């Protein structure tokens, strides 16, 4: 029987997870729940919107009143929904720290939950990555899918670790100031170093790859399309650049593009996914620039690009599948998810 | 029989026109032609790309060599294609001034052509707008579809002129610095007034609405999503704001959105079209912000937004239909085109 999924929170991640769940044949989107009648919420529920016909719930009594006042058809609160016993798992995509608060509700009604990277790793009993620990997920009721930056690093570094031992990793993370739809409070014509040094991204990668010696620092720049990571690894045995490139090419959810083919920047790469008519131009793949893959002495270098809005979407789908053992082979789940999302 | 269309030039406009032609049941995309093996060209012809399987031609002998060198499968030059007599009309979407050069080729092979707004109005014997002069197009072999800015002004002003006489129009055009895929030579953290005063946009509107007294000026700002026009009309009889709003709402290809619904900026509006999963988030509609529609003394004001990449696409489709009298009723053509594009 299809796993019954509710998605709580209809922001950048939640609306995409809900749509992705709808595209699976082994899970069913029972309902969505959210806080306020945002323009995005109204649009996705329109007749031409991707979630038209989905049952809508409010995350609280206050939200329920607000949404009704705004003319939305709301079926009750999230607790009303969960008390019916028709949901197996909630994917919680609410803002940072709200997920941890919500956990009490999920526990109260005995439903499993998947949290996002904005929450501290302790919110779940494991931090999930499709490539690394898919097989462990079925043992856990509360799982966290790490952030976009962490996911991209786990994906590439775990792949590299298949052909060499990584002694140490240094990453400079160049972060987008804001997501494309945001028009408030964005950094403008300035570069803002994150004062947390090393940044939390390294320890977050270690929640999935605990043996990895990794240090990260980050700066924020005035762009919205994507993050870029500048990666430097010290390794035990130096592979050839071509070997790393070929390994990346054959790994799902890693795409290698060449500047010499015209992919000189995040703008050019995003245009590729617009040209492929991907919904919302989503790019859940990590894109590595081929020319930046280089090796010297005991060092491996590359730069990759992270589409912060969509990279974690397939991970959430695999996580549901792993949690309920809908598919026990991780490669099969990855490939099924990717096909459904046109990756 | 379906009209046989070739599209020459695969830039921002050409790739969209070609895709739009493919979506019509009364025209057939025979081939595309272009100059160089750009990343966009390769992407759209990939198995997952929207023009997969389309015959590719090169705009010159030199281009042919270049594209073959880049591994593209090219069927010959544009002249080879036209000499076969299998094309009824070329939609020329090549860069500014190249279209005028190409006209000689179209004349040589006796094919009709539609040019874009980058060309001077003399390139054709009429400048086309679906709302204004659809019925005239069948008399012309060479027609120009005006630019994005002009199209948006013609669409809104012609609509307003149905309920009042417009005495004079002043428009401040706030232009995007570059299209989203461009990563070269963009204005950065600066505002650049166009030194041509009044700007060419006013006279260009007059190629479609010759009786209109309109003056425009423009500045360029560092954004890529859209242009914004600040419109001020002096009118003979002052309509109520609500009357103008309702007129805009019921007019095809004009959409009225409210800042109070969350549509506070171009970023928020574009997100709506991403959420609707529109291909490439295209928004051929002019979006007018409802709160900006205002009237005072003998003045009408509003601000609208122009998606420079897609607003002219439905106009090109209607223009083909009008030119070959595939549909003699303009409302029917507009509605058929809009349905095919999900507008």
Digitized pLDDT (tens) for each residue of chain A, 343 residues in all: 799 999 999 999 999 999 999 999 999 999 999 999 999 999 999 999 999 999 999 999 999 999 999 999 999 999 999 999 999 999 999 999 999 999 999 999 999 999 999 999 999 999 999 999 999 999 999 999 999 999 999 999 999 999 999 999 999 999 999 999 988 777 888 888 899 999 999 999 999 999 999 999 999 999 999 999 999 999 999 999 999 999 999 999 999 999 999 999 999 999 999 999 999 999 999 999 999 999 999 999 999 999 999 999 999 999 999 999 999 999 999 999 999 999 9
Report d(CA B165, CA B154) in Å as an integer. Answer: 15
Yes or no, beta carbons of B274 and A280 under 8 Å apart: yes
What is the ipTM for the molecules in this complex?
0.88
Q: What is the CA radius of gyration of chain A?
A: 20
**What are the start-end ranges of the E strands in B124-165?**
126-127, 142-144
CA distances to A60, A123, A162, B146 from A133, in Å: 34, 17, 15, 56
Helix (H) or strand (E) holding B200: none
Q: What is the pLDDT of residue B31?
A: 98
Q: What is the pLDDT of residue A1?
A: 76
Report d(CA B301, CA B285) in Å as an integer. Answer: 19
Contact list in B for residue A39 (CB cut-off 8 A) is: 261-263, 268, 271-272
Q: What is the pLDDT of residues B268-299, one digit of tens each?
A: 999 999 999 999 999 999 999 999 999 999 99
Q: What is the DSSP string of B261-304?
A: GT--SHHHHHHHHHHTT-GGG---SEEEEGGG-EEETTEEEEEE
B-chain residue closest to A70, CA distance: B261
Helix (H) or strand (E) holding B10: none
Helix, strand, or coil here: B75?
A: coil
The phi and psi torsions of A44 (rounded to 5 degrees) equal -70, -20
Contact list in B for residue A223 (CB cut-off 8 A) is: none
Yes or no, beta carbons of A180 and B271 under 8 Å apart: yes
Q: What is the pLDDT of residue B188?
A: 81
**Among A38, A44, A267, beta carbon nearest to B181:** A267
| Per-residue pLDDT at B240 exceeds 80 | yes
Q: Mutation test of the interface with chain B: which of A47, A189, A272, A275, choosing the one with the most B Cβ atoms within 10 A? A: A275
| Per-residue pLDDT at B185 exceeds 80 | no
- Is the CB of residue B74 less than 8 Å from the CB of residue B58? yes
Contact list in A for residue B274 (CB cut-off 8 A) is: 180-181, 280-281
**Is A165 exposed, middle or buried (CB count within 10 Å of its CB: 0-12, 13-18, 19+)?**
exposed
Report d(CA B200, CA B117) in Å as an integer. Answer: 11
| Per-residue pLDDT at B316 exceeds 90 | yes
Q: Which residues, listed in sequence order, are joined to residue B3 by a DSSP beta bridge?
A: B27
Which residues 6+ apart lie within 8 Å of A289 measured at CB? A256, A257, A258, A259, A263, A302, A303, A304, A305
Among A198, A226, A208, A127, residue whose Cα is nearest residue A161: A208
Confidence label for B208 from pLDDT (cuts 50, 70 and 90): very high
What single-letter DSSP state applies at residue A20? H
Helix, strand, or coil here: B99?
A: helix
Q: Is residue B272 within 8 angstroms of chain A, CB to CB? A: yes
Q: What is the pLDDT of residue A329?
A: 98
Q: Which residues of B76-114 are buried (b: 16+ CB within 10 A; e: fewer)?
A: bbbbebbeeeebbbbbbbbeeebbbebbebbeeeebbbb
Report d(CA B312, CA B284) in Å as an integer. Answer: 7
Q: Mutation test of the interface with chain A: which of B19, B46, B262, B275, choosing the one with the most A Cβ atoms within 10 A? A: B275
B-chain residue closest to A265, CA distance: B183
Yes or no, beta carbons of B281 and A280 under 8 Å apart: yes
Which residues 6+ apart lie within 8 Å of B11 measured at CB? B40, B93, B94, B95
Q: Is the dihedral of CA A52, A57, A59, A62 positive or negative?
A: positive
Catalytic site residue from A148, A188, A233, A319: A148
First to last CA, chain B: 26
Contact list in B for residue A43 (CB cut-off 8 A) is: 272, 275-276
Contact list in B for residue A181 (CB cut-off 8 A) is: 267-268, 270-271, 274
Helix, strand, or coil here: A105?
A: helix
Instruction: Note if B148 is an active site residue.
Output: yes
Tokens (6 digits) for B235: 């009118």
> Whose structure tokens read 């991907």?
A278
Tokens (6 digits) for B10: 């695969």
Distance of CA A161 to the CA centre of its chain: 22
Catalytic site residue from B59, B148, B233, B319: B148
**Is pLDDT larger for residue A187 or for residue B159?**
B159
Report d(CA A196, CA A343) in Å as an integer. Answer: 35
Q: Is residue B239 within 8 angstroms of chain A, CB to CB? A: no
Q: What is the pLDDT of residue B308?
A: 98
Yes or no, beta carbons of A50 and B265 under 8 Å apart: no
Report d(CA A193, CA A174) in Å as an integer. Answer: 9
**What are the start-end ranges of the E strands in B88-205?**
89-92, 112-115, 126-127, 142-144, 166-176, 192-193
Contact list in B for residue A342 (CB cut-off 8 A) is: 48
By DSSP bridging, strand B214-221 and strand B192-193 are antiparallel
* Cα angle B131, B18, A273; round to 5: 110
Report d(CA A118, CA A127) in Å as an integer. Answer: 12
Q: Which residues, listed in sequence order, are joined to residue B31 by a DSSP beta bridge?
A: B6
- Is the CB of residue B157 less than 8 Å from the CB of residue B212? yes
Yes or no, beta carbons of B267 and A46 under 8 Å apart: no
Yes or no, beta carbons of A50 and B271 under 8 Å apart: no
Q: What is the pLDDT of residue B235?
A: 97
């Amino acid at each position: 029987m299809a796993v019954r999924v509710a998605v709580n929170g209809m922001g950048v991640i939640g609306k995409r997870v809900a749509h992705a769940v709808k595209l699976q044949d082994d899970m069913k989107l029972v309902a969505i729940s959210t806080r306020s009648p945002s323009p995005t919420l109204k649009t996705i529920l329109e007749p031409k919107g991707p979630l038209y016909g989905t049952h809508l719930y409010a995350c609280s009594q206050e939200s329920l009143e607000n949404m009704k006042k705004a003319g939305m058809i709301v079926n009750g609160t999230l607790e009303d929904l969960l008390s019916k016993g028709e949901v197996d798992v909630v994917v919680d995509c609410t803002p940072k720290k709200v997920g941890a608060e919500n956990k009490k509700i999920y526990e109260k009604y005995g439903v499993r939950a998947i949290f996002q990277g904005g929450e501290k790793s302790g919110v779940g009993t494991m931090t999930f990555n499709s490539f690394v620990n898919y097989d462990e997920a079925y043992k856990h009721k509360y799982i966290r899918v790490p952030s976009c930056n962490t996911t991209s690093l786990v994906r590439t570094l775990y792949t590299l670790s298949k052909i060499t031992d990584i002694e140490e990793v240094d990453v400079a993370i160049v972060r987008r100031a804001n997501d494309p739809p945001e028009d408030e409070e964005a950094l403008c014509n300035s570069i803002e170093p994150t004062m947390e040094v090393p940044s939390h991204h390294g320890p977050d990668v270690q929640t999935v790859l605990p043996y990895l010696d990794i240090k990260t620092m980050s700066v924020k720049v005035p762009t919205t399309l994507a993050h870029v990571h500048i990666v430097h690894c010290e390794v035990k045995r130096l592979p050839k650049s071509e070997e790393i490139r070929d390994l990346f090419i054959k790994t799902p959810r890693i795409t290698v593009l060449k500047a010499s083919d015209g992919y000189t920047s995040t703008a050019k790469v995003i245009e590729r996914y617009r040209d492929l008519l991907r919904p919302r131009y989503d790019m859940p793949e990590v894109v590595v620039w081929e020319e930046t893959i280089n090796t010297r002495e005991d060092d491996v270098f590359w730069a990759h690009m992270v589409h912060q809005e969509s990279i974690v979407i397939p991970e959430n789908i695999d996580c549901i599948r792993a949690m309920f053992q809908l598919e026990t082979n991780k490669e099969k789940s990855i490939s099924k998810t990717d096909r459904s999302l046109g990756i």
